[in-house]
A and B are shown apart, each in its own frame.
Chain A
Amino acid sequence: MSNDLQTKQFHTEIVGNNQGSAAQMNEVKSGPRIIDPVFTLEDVSVSYGKYVAVTDVNLQIPSNDITAFIGPSGCGKSTLIRTLNRTNDLIPGASVAGKVMYHDADLYDSKASAVEIRRRIGMVFQKPNPFPKSIYENVAFGPKVNGRPKKSELDEIVEKSLRGAALWDEVKDRLGASALGLSGGQQQRLCIARSLAVQPEVILMDEPCSALDPIATLRIEELMMELKKEYTIVIVTHNMQQAARVSTYTAYFVTEVNPLGDLRTGKLVEYDETKKIFSTPSDPRTEAYVTGKMG
């Protein structure tokens, strides 16, 4: 672990010297270059029809770590996270320009299968969305659609996933009960367990705590810290403290309104280590946001 950390810092320093001028020229601060990134985004814009939701995004997302997207409403952070596992494909008229690389594979390559991508890159949504089935069946859903596991294997996967999501002790005696009877926080952890069950590499979380109370939020945050040992996590959050608490890297987005005032487009302002974003951000807009003067 400590070795990894050193390597990362080392690289960050190098980037600081090397890329500074280029970044200034583009006015896009692509932030730290990350060794062996999971995602590499180059000049990514996402549009819905003619409306550009987010544009000019360049960033790299590290593995086994938590990266947070923050920014005011309408800045395109949710849109962006949804492009990372092609969930945006489901919205009619959505289109992606630029390059979204997952390791060395292009996610938007014509040969790439969205189904396979989503199996590798799981997603937890803003509102807990357990299926109207039993707790067991919720967790077993992913393995079942991805193959025909034996009952004994399935039992094992379900237990492991529920333990992984710190839910096992609360539900082990009522696996057959409806998932809809769980509390909001439990439902969200069930949704996390459900995505763990297909053994993804990445878990995308789109404001996973915005519908939860502070205690449930805390539990999810603790869970995220635990999960990052094995998974890469990208989280969109409205809650700056949350980003500061859990993430290692933070990307700050703003909403730019066109002169007519009828179109809003999200832009990446700054991407860096979280501690830098929250202590000495290089862009005044970031500073205004994280200190609470704006947003």
Chain B
Amino acid sequence: MSQTISLKSRLSPRRTLIDGAFRFFLYLSIFISLGMIFWIVSSLWNEAGWLLSWDLLTNYPSYDIDNAGFQSPLVGSLWVVGIATLVALPTGLLTALYLEEFAGKGNKFSRLIELNIQNLAGVPAVVFGLIGLAFIVRGFVKWGFTVGSAAAVIAMLMLPVIIIVSREAIRAVPPSYREGALALGATPWQAVWRLVLPSAIPGTATGSILAVSRAIGESAPLLLLGALSFVTFNPTGLDSPFTIMPLTIFKYASDSREEFQILASAGSLILMAVLFILNLIAIILRDIATRKRNV
């Protein structure tokens, strides 16, 4: 005699419903976020895709639609964000290392720093712009409306984000690595340099991508630092005047002629492509770092 076993779900209809509803909202969220990106890109593409050409990247901004392009703002954006990243990434990573590994836990001083960093991350970008205007463009440094001033301000903007994500990444490194290294007679610094830091790089990279992506689209603080000027040459150094992609796009978009508004859309497409490429590079670098770690 074989027994009949029912393997049918015993979940109550209510549970099954909640289950289904939950799954529905998950898919809905994914759909909304992907849909937004798709919608933005496709509407820009429909409007200005046909305009994209190599000339757009090699021409300088101009009032003449046939010769107008994005070379100097594109190069300017890369200069500003590149230098800001070069400054903010090591500084942020080292600050995070200090706070996580060397500052005494629960130490009042380090808790004060921590609180300040979290507050800084929430300060509106335009406030950083004002500080830059007062202290770097004028004030003590008197650097003027230059790439250097802009990079300094963008670096300030990126720092809190980089510090916070780096700390998370460092905290996620198992304490057993440190213990193991120290038990072999490594100094705390050696343990950090040879084990903690390499293990924290993938996490730090992910956060830094975010910081860089936000910085490249940032316009409010640079508005105050001279980026709105009409610059028809590439920056040659830290002391050069400059302009950036978002503000050039804004300028074209606010022109009354329709061709310029389409040009602005084309600029947005270029900016998105740059963002995409930067993200891709960072992801590849991160994967290489992860793979190297797990040889």
Contact = CB atoms under 8 A, between A and B. Distances in A.
Interface string B264-295: 00000000000000000000000000000111
Contacts of A145: 181, 184-187, 190, 194
Contact of A87 (B182, B194, B293): B182
A178 B104 CA distance: 34
A145 B192 CA distance: 12
Interface stretch (B12-20, B54-62, B80-88, B172-180): B172-180
A122 B184 contact: yes
Nearest to B190: A145
Contacts of B180: 125, 129-131, 191, 194
A85 interface: yes
Interface string A77-104: 0000000010100101000000000000
B183 interface: yes
B286 to A, nearest CB: 15
Nearest to B185: A119
Contacts of A194: 180, 184
Interface in B100-133: 104-106
B184 A118 contact: yes
A58 interface: no
Interface size of B as a range: 20 to 34
B199 interface: yes
B199 A132 contact: yes
B195 interface: yes
A14 to B, nearest CB: 36
Main secondary structure of the interface of B (DSSP, over half): helix
Contacts of A129: 174, 176-177, 179-180
Given A129-B176, A131-B177, A134-B295, A92 B185 contact: no
A178 B184 contact: no
A127 B175 CA distance: 12
Contacts of A197: 184
B182 A118 contact: yes
B139 to A, nearest CB: 42
B70 to A, nearest CB: 43
B179 A92 contact: no
A143 B147 CA distance: 47
B106 A133 contact: no
Given A92-B106, A132-B293, A133-B295, A115 B186 contact: yes
Interface size of A as a range: 20 to 34
A14 B279 CA distance: 75
A195 B184 contact: yes
A180 B185 contact: no
B293 A115 contact: no
B104 A92 contact: yes
Interface centre among B184, B194, B198 (most CB of A within 10 A): B184
Nearest to B295: A134
Contacts of A132: 177, 198-199, 293-294
Contacts of A169: none
A209 to B, nearest CB: 17
Contacts of B295: 133-134, 176-178
Contacts of A118: 182-185
Nearest to B187: A115
A280 interface: no
A116 interface: yes
A198 interface: yes
Interface centre among A90, A119, A129 (most CB of B within 10 A): A129
Interface string A28-52: 0000000000000000000000000
A146 interface: yes
A123 B190 contact: no
Interface centre among B106, B180, B190 (most CB of A within 10 A): B180
A168 interface: no
A281 B184 CA distance: 37
Contact of A115 (B106, B185, B194, B294): B185
Top 4 A-B pairs, shortest CB-CB distance:
A119-B185, A129-B176, A142-B184, A123-B183
12 contacts: A85-B183, A116-B185, A119-B184, A127-B176, A129-B174, A131-B181, A133-B293, A134-B295, A145-B187, A178-B294, A178-B295, A195-B183
Given A132-B294, A145-B186, 4 more contacts: A134-B295, A145-B184, A145-B190, A146-B184
Interface of A: 85, 87, 90, 92, 115-116, 118-120, 122-123, 125, 127, 129-134, 141-142, 144-146, 176-178, 180, 191, 194-195, 197-198
